[in-house]
Chain A
């Protein structure tokens, strides 16, 4: 029981990170019907932005409060990652709009290779460990020598995720930008005829997805204390699985999917086999795509001739 609760906490933490990344996948798929394959690597780059600015702030500028440093780092990382994603969309995806369907996917795979190898060249191939940023751990209860703990890191991750999702939900549901996005999702041509700047809306969708990935990247760095140039692939696939499981195109679905995938991964690792936890996640992806491709909260796809 204690172990289960502990794994539940760990799973929700991991799931929050997946959920934040998954939103980027689901929004981009919703609006232009493309699997943004480089999103996982954008997430990885954002963690590097966070790492670099965290070191600059603490070592060069002498910021002693970790929380202040983390907030500044998160904001910087969100801005720069948004910019990165904007540039990628502008260079690699926009010229291919209207091209045949595989072209953007291939371009995105190329971009994913570029990003991870660029970081490898620029920042070196080794793991980048940081000293633990947030150490506090609270014991919830102690039973038979097994203490169920909740660390401050986990509280921060869950709280930041909830706050950002609320803000994001407001943005999509209540602002003109969100309305434009939902309009483009339904019918891009019609939205354009009604005076919506479609290209700009798509760009902003990429930027928003990347900003949320940057939050996830900062939290990932804080939680694990280490980042590596190849760290984009596995979380990227997991987050994509989450987006598909929740129903691609659906924002609440992405978060729900993220939490489920996080829980499945940790619980599988605990109770079945730690070695095969990635196999489990991939199998879920396969099973979901085959048997319920519309996901939990998604709309079924209508086949048109």
Chain B
């Protein structure tokens, strides 16, 4: 039993969902870890990326590459819309606006009025064909006890490939003068401004780049599932990404990757564990599915609190570098 639990957890920790959350966290890390922008609506970027791609392909019959471009552009537009009113204000205004924007977007896509475009509550399907047609793997079982089929293996490889690529990009950017300006903004915005840097512009660039990375995460997420519905974009997605980023180490290059693997290993392990306990009937009167969801989300909340209080720098982070405050 322990063995199935372990492989369940491992299967999820290396799977495409973990990869998409790692992407969300890479974007969030650029926002929060390096620039000090408090983006509580990363799920909104994920949503516009996923819907942008899926609508282009499944409603208008466009090719996949066009869908990806549309998704990325949508994320750029969203960053401009959110950033313009809030990036000149205190950090918490951005937090409130982004969390609200994520919910606005979800209300809008699930609204009956947008049925023709987004499929409202029923969502969209049939947009992943082109993607899986590119897969070089013949059908079959892969990775031994993890039992990945060919499609899952393909999307997993692409997902983690993107994580590697974009993490490298962030690493290179952070070594550049541009990255040093971002970090100086995080440390002391006024100091950066007094050196003649256009703080607003740098923050906006960071918001756009991190948002685009989040949108790419959204695309990988829905490509792996081969469908999308508004309920995939609940606000909790952002907070999972936050937990992942903080767990791995805020403001580090490998943090999001490490965090995603550890987080999904723990979360899936916990969920399978609770499920097997509940199914065995050890706790009377607790309904299975509900309890699994509720307890694991309570655990995520506690994780977020304890990490932030006890070890805000995460597993890899450097406490000295990270003294964030509202400025």
Asked if chains A and B come from one complex, the reply is: no
B: residues with CB less than 8 A from A are none
A: residues with CB less than 8 A from B are none
